[in-house]
Every structure is written in structure tokens, then in C-alpha cells.
Structure 1
Amino acid sequence: MEITVWAGWLSGIAIGLFVILHFWLIGKPAGCSTGYGNVCGYLCKNMRYFKEGEYKNLNNIKLWFLIGIPLGGLISGLTSEQPWHLSFDMGMYDEILPQSAAAKAIWLTFGGMLLGFGARLAGACTTGHALVGGAMLNPPSLLAGVVFFMSAMITTHLLFGT
């Protein structure tokens, strides 16, 4: 069975066009971290932290953008010519993650929480900084994008030695 994969340059052009189209249609840059904040705000509405700002507004475009990401993946999987099934196979990460499903879930949840904290601390997620901020030539976002990629390269080298 042969898998068809988009060329990297074609995917890059598609993402770039999406970023421009999103900004042109909505008037706001694309990004996910505010949508996650809105979900947390809704779930934790009694906490003072989430009673301020746009976290109290569940009906905003970033929340719908956030919902569209897994929905788009699901539609892609269901319409694919390849057979689709739910799997907890982590590929090359199975070498470094704990083997039990519970320990793996705890480890990945903790990692996700760290990513959320980092996005909140940096003022945007990797999408917001590297794609949108980079397209707008925003100096702090360009620096953040460089830091993200360098961190990923170093981490990959430390974990896998490649």
C-alpha cells in the first residue's frame, strides 16, 4: 500500500496562504492558544484568572479554529483511501516514553501542560509566533521561532542521538 504525501514546499505554500486568508477574512491572526484558554475559562469559570479578558467569551473565532483542527484531522482520516483506526502507537517516541498506557498518558498530559504554560508565558503558541508572527516579520516572533526550532533540534538530538 503506497501512501501519498504532499511535497514540503506545497504544504508550506498552503499554510502560508491559509495564514493570509485567515487574517484577510477575520482581521485577526491565526493561533490556537487563546482558544485553549477559552475552553479552560469555560471549564474553570469560577477561578478569578479566567473571569477576565476574552477567556469569558466562548463564541470567538479562535475557539472555532481550535475545534476545526481535530475535526479536520478526523475528516481527513475518514475520507482517506487508507484504512483508518484509532491507535496509541507513538512511532519513534515509543522508544523513550513509558510502556504502560497510564504512564504514557500522564507523561503526555504533563508535556501538554508545559506547552500550554509556555504558550501563555510567551504570549502565543508556536503557530502564532512562527507562522503568523513570522509572516508579519514581527521581531519577537521571529526570535521565538528560532528558539522553537533550535530547542526541537537539540531535544531530538539528545533523545534520539540523530
Structure 2
Amino acid sequence: MQTNNTPVYWNIYPAAIALAGIIVFIFATFGPPASSSGFVSALKGLLQAVAPDYVASKAHYQAIPGPGSWLMAFVLGMAIGGFIAGRTFPQPVRDVPEIWEAKWPGRLRRYAVTFLGGFLILFASRLAGGCTLGLFISGSSQLAVSGLYFGALIFGAAMLTARLIYGRQKGR
């Protein structure tokens, strides 16, 4: 029996082909580029059925596309894809990375930090008028300079943020 501590990953080629297929399917079927921050349109549809006067009185909901757009399929696809990924991955996945346990001991602190990070990302995407990941994924899949440039900026900012939060790890 071989004892190797190297983590097991999916082969990159089937994963890349699957992602490309999903992007092509979304573009061909629903038209607009993929993003998930507009999931609020599904909420608008639900609220419109329950409280149409409330939705009509809010400018925020007027700017959001109605239900039946590709957003519901996209968000549902993320849930289905996550389930399939969890069932087909060759080994169990550790829920909390060791680096998180070391940096933020205690479940409540980790939840608070995660919530704060999610809130900041949501606030920034709504402030920018859309999902930044959507710009990166849809823009780079079209080889748009703006999408590729923004993707490089995202990775640079992510590396800088990780260095600021975690510092330099010993042995690296």
C-alpha cells in the first residue's frame, strides 16, 4: 500500500470540458452571460406574486429582470453541480481547512469571518451593478480583454489579501 499525502484532484481536462460545455449551454439556451448575483430576480418573482404593490413601489426591483430568466437555471445548476461534485470526488473533503482552524479558532469566529467576507463581496457586487465573477467568467470565455484583465486583477487581489490575512507560511 502506498502512503502518499498528496491530495487527490479531478483530472483538469474533463473538468475544463464540463465548464466549457456549461458556459456554451447557458449562452446558447438563455443568451446573456452567466452570473449569479442577479438571483434576486427570482426573489422579485416570488415577491411579485405575494406583494405586487410592494415590488412596484421599489426602484430596486424595477431594475432587476423578472423571473424566467437564465438566473434561476444558473443557481439551480450550481446546487446540482455541487451535489454531483460531492458524490463523485474520490476522497472525503475536509470541511474546515487547517489554516482556518489555526487563524480563527472556534466555529463562531470562523462563521463571523466568513459572513463578513460574504457581505463585503455582495456589497461590492451590488455597488458595481453586477457580479464580478460573471465579468471574469463570461468575459474570459469570450476572450474579451476586459474579462481577462479583470481576472488578472482578481487573482492579484486574492493573493495580496491571503498574504495580509495569513502571512507567510513556514517552509514556503
TM-score category of the 2 structures, normalised to the smaller one: 0.7 to 0.9
Name which of 62, 66, 69 aligns with 2:71: 62
Q: Match for residue 90 of structure 1?
A: 97
The 2-side partners of 1:51 and 1:131 are apart by 25
Q: Moved runs in structure 1, 4+ residues, more than 6 A?
A: none
Q: Match for residue 83 of structure 2?
A: 74
The 2-side partners of 1:118 and 1:27 are apart by 25
Q: Match for residue 38 of structure 1?
A: 41
What stretches of structure 1 of length at least 5 have no aligned partner? Answer: none
Aligned CA-pair RMSD: 3.2
Name which of 147, 155, 171 aligns with 1:149: 155
- Tell whether 2:147 aligns with 1:137: no
The 1-side partners of 2:90 and 2:9 are apart by 13
Aligned residue pairs total: 157
Report % sequence identity: 24
Contact 1:31 1:62 in 2 (8 A): yes
Structure of larger gyration radius: 2
The TM-score, its normalising length taken from structure 1, stands at 0.74
The 2-side partners of 1:138 and 1:121 are apart by 22
